[in-house]
Structure 1
Amino acid sequence: MKQKFIAISSFGKIRHFFEALSTPENVQIIFYNSLNEALPWIDEQCIGVALNQDHLTLEDLSYWHTIKEKCSVPFIFLSYHRDDQRQLDLLKQLFSIASSEYQIQREHEAISLSPNVIFDPAGKVIWKQGHEYMLTMMEFRLLMYLLTAKECASTIDHIIDRVWGVDAYTTSNTVYVHIRKLREKIEDDPSHPKILVTCHGIGYRLNIFPKNLEVASCEETTALH
């Protein structure tokens, strides 16, 4: 099933803008003229929203806050007054993440995070000691990103850029909350994590790859930049 990416603009040129992108086979771009029109279709199955409205009204801001409360979907604000290449790079980055997630889902029916913890990418679910824990979209995206990062530790800033989007209004506290919630679903003892570990002074990584398991100290892990 294809993932949704929603583009909101009252300008017809926005379609030409997206034609310059190489869209992954698992992503469908859906166009709407306004936030109000798109609101019912923005949910946790949506990988991102691009908004191109230079003059937001109070009503638009109200819709935007409703969406942010409803789900943690990444927002990218597009403007013809900004560098087009910069905006294209942001969208390509988001689509690249979606493509990587799709590839992992195709290659793995299930991923063992530990002997007692299984991650099912297709179902967006964690199986821990026989119990089922459904992941939210942002928990799923966070876990998928850490899987693609493999042996490397990811900084907070890098996680925000790759999971929420460079232009997202996201703070480090938001990342901490999602890390904690994800640990509650994958760790036997979230207060003493063995799978999603903290590399002090660097960031976070999954402790499930052979190279990581051989490392005695997290400080030896190379950070992403």
Structure 2
Amino acid sequence: MSGTILLVEDEPSIAEMVVSYLEKEGFSVVHAKDGEEAVRRFTQESFDLILLDLMLPKLSGMDFLRIIREKSLIPILIVSAKDGEVDKALGLGFGADDYIAKPFSMIELSARVKAALRRASYHVNVQVDDRASIVEIHELTMDMDNLTISKNGKEVKLTSKELQILKLLMTHPKKVFTKEHIYQSVWDEPYYGDENIINVHMRRLREKIEDNPSEPQYIKTLWGIGYRLGEF
């Protein structure tokens, strides 16, 4: 597998280690030392994935993430200690796809990068067999060809993971999905019981598509089981 990665990391020793390892794995890696340089490089060059530290000089990782998500759905993996900032980056409107907790192994990093690139490639080329290209559920309409979602004719801006979760539910409207099933389908990785990623993505998705996220009509929770699409 190959691809061009933007690494945004201000710690020289970590950056050197990551660049060296990923380049041996066949990737092209561009290193930005701070948030401002990262924005500039992203604007000027083409990338397939971003590895992002949150604690950056000049422009924070969260601010960088917000800027990029206004422009692109490129996969973004947070490389940081797991804390409240990571939760925000994953689920509170900032739109990161996954996180790798520091300290991390290079084998894990490479596996996460490859999985994210596979998912991105799959969903760019996705074909929905035996289904209409337009799926409508009550006020929601999903265009399967363009992978866009609208509510009452107005486009709803979703991150790539939010879109993939909603697509899974909308194309299987009567099926109940466990958190494990959702994680394995959307993240394409084994599920080890970490519910945090699913919870924050579901919460943010509900905030975007539900009239009242506290009383969701589209994404129903079956306590102790999982989620399914609501019936109208």
1:59 match: secondary structure: coil
Q: Number of aligned residue pairs: give it.
A: 185
2-structure distance, mates of 1:63, 1:91: 22
Q: What residue in structure 2 maps to residue 197 of structure 1?
A: 220
The one of 166, 172, 175 equivalent to 2:201 is 175
Question: Normalising by the residue count of structure 2, what TM-score does the alignment of the two structures yield?
Answer: 0.53
After TM superposition, the structure 1 stretch with the greater mean CA deviation from structure 2, 6-15 or 81-90, is: 6-15
Judge conservation of contact 1:93–1:162 (CA < 8 Å) in 2.
no
Amino acid across the alignment from 1:49: I
Give per-residue Cα distances to partners, 1:172-201, cap 9 Å, x unaligned: 66334313124328x9x98352x4332221
Query: Which whole-Å CA distance do the structure 2 matches of 1:84 and 1:12 have between them?
Result: 8
Q: Counterpart of 1:11 in 2: which secondary structure?
A: helix
Match of 2:32 in 1: 33
Matched, 1:59 2:83: no
**Comparing both chains, which one has the higher relative contact order based on Cα–Cα distances under 8 Å and sequence gaps of 6 or more?**
1
For the residues of structure 2 that align with 1:58 and 1:115, how far apart are their CA atoms? Answer: 43
Aligned 1:3-152 pairs, distance under 5 A = 6-8=6-8, 10-11=15-16, 14=19, 17=22, 20=25, 31-36=30-35, 37-40=37-40, 41=42, 48-51=49-52, 59=57, 63-70=60-67, 71-74=94-97, 76-77=99-100, 82-104=104-126, 110-114=133-137, 117-121=140-144, 123-129=146-152, 131-138=153-160, 139-144=162-167, 146=169, 151=175
Q: Which amino acid aligns with 1:59?
A: P
Q: Partners of 1:148 and 1:113 in 2: how far apart?
A: 10
User: What is the CA-CA distance between 1:39 and the residue it aligns to?
Assistant: 2.9
TM-score by length of 1: 0.54
Task: Compare 174-183 and 138-147 and name the one that shifted more.
Answer: 138-147
Instruction: Give the unaligned 5+ runs of structure 1.
Output: 24-28, 209-225
Which whole-Å CA distance do the structure 2 matches of 1:35 and 1:83 have between them?
Answer: 23
Q: Alpha-carbon deviation of 1:59?
A: 1.9
Unaligned stretches of 5+ residues in structure 2: 10-14, 68-93
Q: Which moved more, 1:197-206 or 1:105-114?
A: 105-114
RMSD: 4.9
